[in-house]
Structure 1
Amino acid sequence: MSNEKLDRRARRTRQAIRSAFVELILEEGYDSVTIQDVADKADYNRGTFYKHYVGKDELLNEIREHFLRGIRQALLDPYPGMEEVDATQIYPSSLKLFEHIEDHKNEFKALLSIHKSISKDLYEALRQSMREDMHMEMEPSDPPLDYELMLSYRLSATVGVIMHWAENDFKYSATYMADQLLALVNSKIERVVFIRKP
């Protein structure tokens, strides 16, 4: 059998094991899931599981890394070969970001059920991308904006929007979320009206 066929088979096997694991986490909780449960659900034996993974922690880490890698990739995919893009033209990367999360929402929910720190991981993945893959050039302002503070503000807001979406069981489409994020980023508060008088 050719290496390509073996690689394809290995990828299919790993994908089946990952999918089974995620389903079981969502049904039973991470601590309750056994290797035998995963193997049975994926329709393999325990030996096949151990051929690909040392244990549950390694499998979980692979799911986490794959999800976060996709976040970074989503930001760059719409702009192959481009050196820069106008800030008004960033909708494609916002949409790709939300589509990636929507496509992997079960993985995200499973990770969230185990590690509440996934929001921090998400923040760090976006921050790393903004430091290594791209740089935002801001309009001049008075006082000048501190780039790191601006980045922290925008990324925290983005992660907050994503977490709200997840907490509401992804009830909106990726398109709706991308539209809303861009509207939020570009909106300015006109005034604050006090409901409770000081």
Structure 2
Amino acid sequence: MAQKENDRRVARSKAALKEALLSLMERKSFSAISITEIVETANYNRGTFYSHFENKDALLAEVISELIDELIASFREPYEHVEIFRVDELGAQSVTIFEHIFARREVYSTLFRGDTLPIIKEKMFSAIRRISAEDLVYPEADTTINPELRMVYSLHALMGLVFHWIEGGFAYTPAYMQDQLVQLIHWRPTAAKTVRRGEAERKGKGK
């Protein structure tokens, strides 16, 4: 019983420290935040902080790690319970990565500001790339495309869409983003109309 109570106390104090850090990051950069500010905002002391974290970088790392675990779970959702993942039959309702991000949009928005932007982007991309490589095996006999280049192309497309959505302030609903992603996956244009430079310039002057 005492152990359970201690576990709950640890969970409460760590959660409070994480919330304090994110609250401070809404107003200032991570590099400008001190441990003193974190513990004062969380209403704890430095001893409590150091009993859980070596430094503020370790605190940030745990915040991001928990977020990445949820991101991975949402990415795996469409294929987690099937032996063969039919990408050509993927439905918008099966894609939950946007729902996860939107549910945690306050945290993502905070991390996408200031000096933590490169960190969170790298962590997100690396995690999805690792899971894709570990979980999904494609039949190489069906194509002459280099597997490594195919993965890089696909992941940059997906994560580019995700990053654009977050940085744009979630201008579209998760359902809309899910539908658009599925359409993009199946989109195979065979031609595009070209606009000559002179015509484009005339159109611009006519506005």
Give the TM-score taking structure 1 as reference length. Answer: 0.85
Aligned equivalent of 1:121:
123
Cα displacement (A) at 1:2: 2.5
Give the direction of change, closer, same or farther, for the CA distance of 1:72–1:138 in structure 2 (3 Å limit).
farther
Query: 2:173 & 2:141 partners in 1: Cα distance?
Result: 31
Q: Is the 8 A contact 1:18 1:59 kept in 2?
A: yes
Query: 2:184 & 2:36 partners in 1: Cα distance?
Result: 46
Unaligned segments of structure 1, at least 5 residues: none
2:133 to 131, 134, 140: 131
Give the direction of change, closer, same or farther, for the CA distance of 1:2–1:83 in structure 2 (3 Å limit).
farther
Q: Is the 8 A contact 1:22 1:106 kept in 2?
A: no
What percentage of aligned pairs have identical amino acids? 28
Cα displacement (A) at 1:120: 3.0
Q: Which moved more, 1:188-197 or 1:120-129?
A: 188-197
Cα displacement (A) at 1:22: 0.9
Aligned equivalent of 2:9:
9
Q: Is the 8 A contact 2:90 2:182 kept in 1?
A: no
The answer to whether 1:110 aligns with 2:114 is: no
Give the direction of change, closer, same or farther, for the CA distance of 1:191–1:166 in structure 2 (3 Å limit).
same
Q: What letter is aligned with 1:24?
A: L
Unaligned segments of structure 2, at least 5 residues: 199-207
Structure 2 residue matching 1:115: 3-state secondary structure: helix
Aligned equivalent of 1:140:
142
Q: Is the 8 A contact 1:76 1:93 kept in 2?
A: no
Q: Which moved more, 1:100-109 or 1:159-168?
A: 100-109
Q: What letter is aligned with 2:194?
A: F
The size of the alignment, in residue pairs, is 195
Q: Is the 8 A contact 1:63 1:107 kept in 2?
A: no
Aligned equivalent of 1:156:
156
The 5 Å alignment of 1:38-77 reads 38-77=38-77
Query: 2:100 & 2:195 partners in 1: Cα distance?
Result: 39
Query: 1:75 & 1:192 partners in 2: Cα distance?
Result: 32
Give the direction of change, closer, same or farther, for the CA distance of 1:59–1:94 in structure 2 (3 Å limit).
same
Q: Is the 8 A contact 2:20 2:42 kept in 1?
A: yes
Indicate the structure (1 or 2) with the bigger Cα radius of gyration. 2
What RMSD in Å do the two structures reach over aligned CA positions?
Answer: 2.4
Give the TM-score taking structure 2 as reference length. Answer: 0.81
